[in-house]
Amino acid sequence: MELVNLKDSTERVSFAQAVKQGIGKEQGLFFVKKIESFSDSEIDELLSLDLVTRSQKVLRHLIGSDEIPTLENIIADAFNFKAPLVKADDNTYCLELFHGPTLAFKDFGARFMARVLSSIIGSDKCTILTATSGDTGAAVADAFYHQDKINVVVLYPKGMVSPLQESLIATLGDNIKAVEVNAPFDNCQDMVKTAFDDLEFKQSVGLNSANSINVSRLLAQVCYYFEAVSQLSKADREKVVFSVPCGNFGNITAGLISKALGLKCRFVIACNANDTVPRYLSTGNWEPHKTIATISNAMDISRPNNWPRVEALCKIMGWSLSDFDFGSVSDETTKQNMKALYEKTGYILEPHASVAHKVLSDNLKDGEIGIFLGTAHPAKFKEEVDATLGIDLPLPKPLADRMNLEKQKKLMDADFATLKSYMLDELKLGD
């Protein structure tokens, strides 16, 4: 698999190198140059398989036969949980991506990346530095916990992740270091970018990222779009509309790769008040605003890293950005929609799923089958869900077990020099 730096097309790397390197020159994202689609008969065959077997074939097709000899074993170990398609109301389904160990969709990508990286790292130093608005940090922490030769530093914005998300990030210890930043997520992301720009520091610590800028995260997420369609009847498989709650736009990039591979579907972009992309699609002007804190906090990103990949893939495939339906949803509307669906069918939405469900409902055409992504278990947002729906949602065991553990975290301002000093000292990486 050859990948190209979207900012410097002269930099071309293999999949394994892209996983190890994370990001290219000038902070350019690595991405595919082309995608070979499956035939209709091959798609039908793939959809008849179980999740693991199908994912092995899809990812081997994308990555190639000459890379990652243990790929099939990695996938079998990483994807050891289900992603059920559950009916939410008359013509919409939720793809529940929260049945993994940290109860969030990022378990797919984080577990896959951790195992791929461990298989190729050899004797090299490796420090994962990642910024999170909630679920990425939890999934990465769990996936890399106790992994030999790999240290992890997770940055998250103070007061902008849920208590349960913070518990999943900050209670592990060992090779997982939690850093609470006194600033919004975009500032955390900027600290990561600055770290990658410091070439001496980057090389000395073996810096890598487990955000969706790492291409391994994206490729893993491609697999559950196939899984969603496989759970529909053959008659419904060509009527699918996916509504994706968008923050950094990695999830929808993965979905568009599945479409490029041959799935018959279209995509709806669902955002909260951080609506840079919906405004861009409406006006043609890229004008990020200051990030707004919302109850769908994982989407509180005003400068999404993965948008260049979306545009690159559209160019590769000859798609138009005007083909996207899109929408943005306020907190108040998010809550109203949570309550309305619960009263109608009893299905429980957390805020991110509610945003996706609402925008899907507003854009679904007659005869279409709507699928919105449930990216996190509702209990991860228990306070908001309980208050909105008037219920007492029980905590699943993985959350209950971690909720009362002592948090091990470092508080700092959004300053790279402070972060660099902390990492060199705390991780003993300056030796």
pLDDT on residue 18: 93
Please state the rounded mean pLDDT for residues 147-167. Answer: 89
Partners of residue 410 on adjacent β-strands: 179
pLDDT on residue 431: 45
pLDDT on residue 368: 97
* Arithmetic mean of pLDDT over the chain: 93
Q: Which residue has the higher pLDDT, 197 or 370?
A: 370
> Which of 178-182, 293-297, 314-318 is the least confident region?
293-297
Long-range contacts of 337-344 (CB under 8 A, 24+ apart): 337/361, 338/385, 338/388, 338/389, 339/388, 339/389, 341/88, 341/89, 342/389, 344/89
Please state the rounded mean pLDDT for residues 114-137. Answer: 85
What is the distance of C-alpha 222 from the center of its chain?
11
User: 375-430 pLDDT, tens per residue?
Assistant: 999 998 999 999 999 999 999 988 888 888 999 999 999 999 999 999 998 876 54
Burial degree of 200 (CB within 10 A; 0-12, 13-18, 19+)? exposed
Please state the rounded mean pLDDT for residues 170-185. Answer: 93
pLDDT on residue 243: 98
Please state the rounded mean pLDDT for residues 161-187. Answer: 91
Please state, in angstroms and rounded to a whole number, the distance separating the CA atoms of residues 41 and 36.
Answer: 14
pLDDT on residue 354: 98
pLDDT on residue 125: 77
Place of tokens 């890598």: 208
Percentage of the chain with pLDDT > 90?
A: 77
pLDDT on residue 37: 97
pLDDT on residue 196: 87
- Is 90 exceeded by the pLDDT of residue 296? yes
Please report the DSSP string for 158-205 in residue order.
Answer: TTSS-HHHHHHHHS--TTEEEEEESS-HHHHHHHHHHHHH-HHHHHHH
pLDDT on residue 208: 85
Looking at the domain 82-102+215-389, which fold is it?
Rossmann fold (3.40.50)
pLDDT on residue 191: 94
User: 70-111 pLDDT, tens per residue?
Assistant: 999 999 999 999 999 999 999 999 999 999 998 999 899 999
pLDDT on residue 429: 53
Q: For residue 301, what are the contacts with CB-CB under 8 A and spacing of at least 6? A: 133, 185, 186, 189, 247, 248, 274, 291
pLDDT on residue 428: 65
User: 342-377 pLDDT, tens per residue?
Assistant: 999 999 999 999 999 999 999 999 999 999 999 999
> Which of 198-207, 222-231, 251-260, 266-275 is the least confident region?
198-207
Measured CA to CA in angstroms, residue 264 lies from 88, 278, 336, 368, 400 at distances of 22, 23, 32, 12, 40
User: 244-268 pLDDT, tens per residue?
Assistant: 999 999 999 999 999 999 999 999 9
Q: Which residue has the higher pLDDT, 206 or 96?
A: 96
User: 300-338 pLDDT, tens per residue?
Assistant: 999 998 999 999 999 999 999 999 999 999 999 999 999
- Is 80 exceeded by the pLDDT of residue 45? yes
